[in-house]
Amino acid sequence: MTSGFELINVSLIHANGQRALKTISLRAEVGEKIAIIGPSGAGKTSLLNLLATAMRPSSGQVCIRGQDVWSLNKSALRAQRAQIGMVHQQPPIPSQQRVVTAVLAGRLGQWSSLRALLSLLYPVDIAGAWEVLNQLDIADRLFARCDELSGGQLQRVGVARVLYQTPALILADEPVSAMDPTLSDITIASLHQAATQRGVTLVASLHAVDIALKWFDRIVAVKAGEIVFDCAPNEVTSARLLDLYASESGVIPNQGMTIAGQQSATEVDALR
């Protein structure tokens, strides 16, 4: 079976000499749903940026759907990127752009140049944009300008754009950090449903451990640029989490609450 992706002995060193990832190897099958957790600065965003082909590794291989992406020619790499959907914590959407246009931009890489240009001038699929926004309880903002939205609303527009894109690989970097628990559940549920219905791989970096344990089949913990554990949610123990977040005063981050360092395994189980 062709994997959803595979990182083979991947390292990443930034231009300033900082090592973000240290010889990471990670494989996901098509259709898996994976949460990446870990303390701030652990390398979660860097890992997603490698999968999105937004960054090139300093060493090692990045394979998406069975292809070593950095061995592809420019045309093939562009086609591969059109099949990767990335939800950013702070979506890179022009502030004066209308919500409908921002959502439809999800398919610009798949459309002809003429259709892409027409969509920028006049929305070519208003119904399609409304449908994905409605899933996220934000359809009423269809024609609003993006600079009129709250942070949580803008994050949902970013998610809607990826849902509209219908990519073969969905990546999400802290997609619900500006949302309350109810909207977080709606948003993660929409990403989960889209991945399930289309049989594609979903990978999300999450600050809130309870969201990761509730919605994802596999938990990958990253610390100081290395994978420290990779397991099912029911194998994520209190001891593992306390060790993972030791640099953050032993506080395990969760949506709408924090857990003291003395949290028991039973109490951690209650987060799932």
Question: Which pLDDT band, with edges at 50, 70 and 90, does 270 fall under?
Answer: low
- 171-185 pLDDT, tens digit per residue, is 999 999 999 999 999
* Residue 264 pLDDT greater than 50, yes or no: no
Mean pLDDT of 201-212: 96
Question: Which pLDDT band, with edges at 50, 70 and 90, does 224 fall under?
Answer: very high
Percentage of the chain exceeding pLDDT 70 = 90
Q: Residue 113's pLDDT is what?
A: 67
Q: Residue 130's pLDDT is what?
A: 98
Using only C-alpha atoms, what is the Rg of the chain? 19
Q: Average per-residue pLDDT in the chain?
A: 90
